[in-house]
Amino acid sequence: MDGRPVSLAQEMFAIAPAQGKANLTAAQLKLLAGKARWIFRVGEAGFPTVPTIAITRAAWEALQAERTRQDIRLRTHWVSCLFKLVSKDGKPPALVVRTSAATHNSGLQPARTGIAAPAAPEDSVDPTRALAKAIKQAFDSYGFSPKGWSFRQEDDRARQIVLVQAEAEGEIEQFLTRNATTGAIGPAALNGAPLPRSPESVGSLISLLDSKAGRHMACLVSSHRGKLQFLSARPVQASAAAELEAAVDRVQHKVWSPHNAVSRVDPNRLSQLLHPRIKSTDEVNPIATGLGVAPGAASGIITFSAEDAARLRARGKHCILVVNETGPADIEGMKAATGILTARGGMSSHAGVIARITGKPCVAGVRTLSVDTVEMVCRIGAREFRPGDRLTIDGSDGSVYLGTLPLAQPHIGGAIGTLLGWSDASRSISVRTNVETVESAATALSFGAEGIGLARSEHMFFSPERMVALRRMILSEDEEARSLAVNGLVDFQTGDYEALFSVMGGLPVTVRLFDPPLHEFLPRTDEEIEETAASLGVAVRALKMRLDRIAEINPMLGHRGVRLAITYPEILQMQMQAVIAGARAASEKTSKPVPVEVMVPFVSTASEVAWVRDRAMAIVANAGLDRSDRVKFSFGTMIELPRACLRAGDIAGMVDFISFGTNDLTQTTFGISRDDAPTFLAVYQRKGIYERDPFVTIDEKGVGEMIAIAIERGRAANPRLKIGICGEHAGDPGSLKFFSGLGVDYVSCSPYRVPVARLTLAQAST
């Protein structure tokens, strides 16, 4: 029967008749959208339910057309359908008209109650009469919200439904099936309405709905002389924590299997539970206080526009979007910001709603704040702030602090720990992390990381005193100067590697060879150049000349990655020595094995891989490591250029593993510089050119095919090849599902995304 249109007479039917069962056809069951679905289910389960009928827009319009033709065939069906609202006593009830949209939204017509039953058949379709008028207005209200429907075609619009109910006697009670914040089983208060007078009386209804819907529901019942009648229910969005607690609770009450729980929690919402908090506020006072409308703490640079926020994010900077209030135009900026601060609005303001949905810490309604986007300045009380100044906000209590406060990281426990434990049982792809500091590694381990898939050696230099050493190397004029500078780096690195290998306690660590694109590591502004010149002990003029000489027009595609190792082999030599020394020291200290995976980045030809591998592995062979060191080296390459994907067959024969760098692969496959994309990417999404930002969710049809080609060729040439993904997409649920289908061995993402990856990969493998 599926797919075949039902006759219009069949599109007006009782979903909970006053007498007997509904006996719906398959086609009618498919029409049950929104509340209709829950009314039918509750009624079918035997719980007292107010008599309810449904009519589709198509049927309603046919009734109206028939009326102008002065025909009565369909009307006869309609009247007989209305009679299904009449109980045994035969007394026509007062009527209620309800919308029943697939997705609830505020544009819909509220329930119309107290409608007199039609006095004559012709009244039942006459739009000047109460019933038909209410039905028409209910249908009309769907027009305001095409997005409220999951359908797209005009056909589907015809299948929208409106409900007519018998009005119940007694008092109306509203409540939630579960607490929206904690997830505990209800009844729980909805919008401050009083709880049912006898909570135990709704217990069975709550259990029924909770198991049928598997999510938080808002319920409407009538209570008359101790007798309950179910009127309606609709799902509500609970906090991520509440959803998670509810999922675990359902498993504990045998409503769900652990497998069910794993598959039904949205990984995107999981990440919202992993918020940092301010370590200590003992010594600091807030400079302002507003409402904490979305939890978590955030520090960052002040910015006033979505475009600037996107730009900063593309460069890996944290920012706080500071605005008077937010609106639909700000959503992109909010997504790009680390936190949001508004002068106006409260818990249910646009800022609050979007911040909670997107999981961004948000402080709203700071009365002492005003933003002047023309002058590009904001004032908090008497203080003035400009773009680039730093703030810290705490979305849990609404505090705003000056500068950058140290944040403490969340930990995995309770419901989230339980759920992730279950998820690991059905997951076959490993989850590693992209870190290079001991602190981040510890965070990632606490989140369940099973190794480091990407340690970006050059990121170990993101502190002022170390940056000097790195810049000295990049800026060196000849091999001698470069060797000296590299020696300076090795001193730092040996200790860094030892600490990193030690904290990982025997788990594999992938060390990516130096890959510093010039634009990320060289000073740019006059101020930075002066500072750098001072720290390097050279004249500003000389430094500027040197910078001019090595400046690149497109540093993303410049002298970096493997190109650096081949042109300056002394860098490779010394880095390998540091890695070996660090590994040996860690093995001695921890008495655990140290599996080191050396990874060469940014290759485009197999000859580059061979060149570096031969030299790197010769250094390892000559290091005099023996069995007692328990250090094991393997060698691989990062696949992040289209040519490397095509030549993966040649490359695979020379390596133990490959790992896809999906960020750079997306940049080169699309020909887009991520740093520069904000100027057109927003327009592209608005005009529908890109459905999604390809830097957030992997582009399956382009970049994805590149990866698929590489995996196929790589595995054909080397069946024992280990394959990973280490770009940022490895923390995105949509992308992870795709990677899972490609048969990769591991993914590696930032520490906060590790739980998301664990859950998503468990879902994808079932």
Which positions lie near its own copies, rule CB under 8 A? 519, 550, 552-559, 563, 566-567, 602, 604-605, 607-608, 611, 640-643, 646-647, 664, 667-673, 675-676, 679-680, 683-684, 687-690, 699, 701-703, 705-706
Asked if residue 664 belongs to a known ligand binding site, the reply is yes
3-state SS, residue 359: coil
Q: Go through 711-737 and write b for each residue having 16 or more CB atoms within 10 A of its CB, e for each that does not.
A: bebbbeebeebbbbbbbbbbbbbebbb
Cβ(460)–Cβ(299) under 8 Å? Answer: no
Q: Any idea which residue has 């999510």 for tokens? A: 215
Tokens of 193: 């309405």
Q: Work out how close the CB of 676 gets to its own copies at its nearest, in angstroms, rounded to a whole number.
A: 4
Q: Could you count the other beta carbons within 10 Å of the beta carbon of residue 253?
A: 12
Q: Could you count the other beta carbons within 10 Å of the beta carbon of residue 85?
A: 23
The residue among 177 and 667 lying less far from its own copies, judged by its C-beta, is: 667
Asked if residue 512 belongs to a known ligand binding site, the reply is yes
Residues 580, 416: Cα–Cα separation, whole Å: 38
Q: Work out how close the CB of 684 gets to its own copies at its nearest, in angstroms, rounded to a whole number.
A: 7
Q: Helices 754-764 and 733-742: crossing angle, nearest 10°? A: 50
Q: Work out how close the CB of 646 gets to its own copies at its nearest, in angstroms, rounded to a whole number.
A: 5
Tokens of 251: 């498993």
Q: Work out how close the CB of 615 gets to its own copies at its nearest, in angstroms, rounded to a whole number.
A: 11
Q: Work out how close the CB of 569 gets to its own copies at its nearest, in angstroms, rounded to a whole number.
A: 10
The residue among 501 and 739 lying less far from its own copies, judged by its C-beta, is: 739
The residue among 103 and 305 lying less far from its own copies, judged by its C-beta, is: 305
Tokens of 326: 């937010």
Tokens of 515: 């890959």
Q: Work out how close the CB of 648 gets to its own copies at its nearest, in angstroms, rounded to a whole number.
A: 11
Tokens of 14: 């009782």
Residues 419, 270: Cα–Cα separation, whole Å: 10
Going by C-alpha positions, the residue among 154, 192, 33 that lies closest to residue 103 is: 33
The string of DSSP letters for 517-533 reads -HHHHS--SHHHHHHHH
Asked if residue 398 belongs to a known ligand binding site, the reply is no
The residue among 338 and 667 lying less far from its own copies, judged by its C-beta, is: 667
Asked if residue 277 belongs to a known ligand binding site, the reply is no
Q: Which residues contact 9 (CB under 8 A, 6 or more apart)?
A: 59, 74, 77
Distances (CA, A) of 166 to 49, 60, 303: 10, 19, 55
Q: Work out how close the CB of 639 gets to its own copies at its nearest, in angstroms, rounded to a whole number.
A: 11
Q: Which of 259, 350, 519, 559 is catalytic?
A: 350
Asked if residue 637 belongs to a known ligand binding site, the reply is no
Q: Work out how close the CB of 601 gets to its own copies at its nearest, in angstroms, rounded to a whole number.
A: 10
Residues 244, 534: Cα–Cα separation, whole Å: 53
The residue among 522 and 623 lying less far from its own copies, judged by its C-beta, is: 522
Going by C-alpha positions, the residue among 513, 528, 548, 551 that lies closest to residue 468 is: 528
Cβ(533)–Cβ(546) under 8 Å? Answer: no
The residue among 506 and 558 lying less far from its own copies, judged by its C-beta, is: 558
Q: Which of 81, 726, 729, 749 is catalytic?
A: 726
Cβ(735)–Cβ(417) under 8 Å? Answer: no
Q: Work out how close the CB of 749 gets to its own copies at its nearest, in angstroms, rounded to a whole number.
A: 23
Cβ(101)–Cβ(159) under 8 Å? Answer: no
The residue among 151 and 690 lying less far from its own copies, judged by its C-beta, is: 690
| Annotated catalytic residue 726 | yes
Q: Could you count the other beta carbons within 10 Å of the beta carbon of residue 159?
A: 20
- Determine the residue type at 161: I
The residue among 500 and 644 lying less far from its own copies, judged by its C-beta, is: 644
The residue among 492 and 684 lying less far from its own copies, judged by its C-beta, is: 684
The residue among 84 and 311 lying less far from its own copies, judged by its C-beta, is: 311
Residues 242, 615: Cα–Cα separation, whole Å: 54
**Beta-bridge partner residues of 223:** 171, 228
Residues 279, 298: Cα–Cα separation, whole Å: 12
Q: Work out how close the CB of 515 gets to its own copies at its nearest, in angstroms, rounded to a whole number.
A: 12
Cβ(674)–Cβ(314) under 8 Å? Answer: yes
Going by C-alpha positions, the residue among 18, 19, 16, 20 that lies closest to residue 28 is: 16
Distance between start and end Cα atoms, the chain: 30
Q: How many helices (H) and strands (E) does the chain have?
A: 30, 30
CA 597 to chain centre: 30
Give the residue numbers annotated as catalytic, written as ranges: 350, 726
Could you tell me which residues are annotated as the binding site for substrate? 456, 512, 640, 661-664
Could you tell me which residues are annotated as the binding site? 456, 512, 640, 661-664
Could you tell me which residues are annotated as the binding site for Mg(2+)? 640, 664
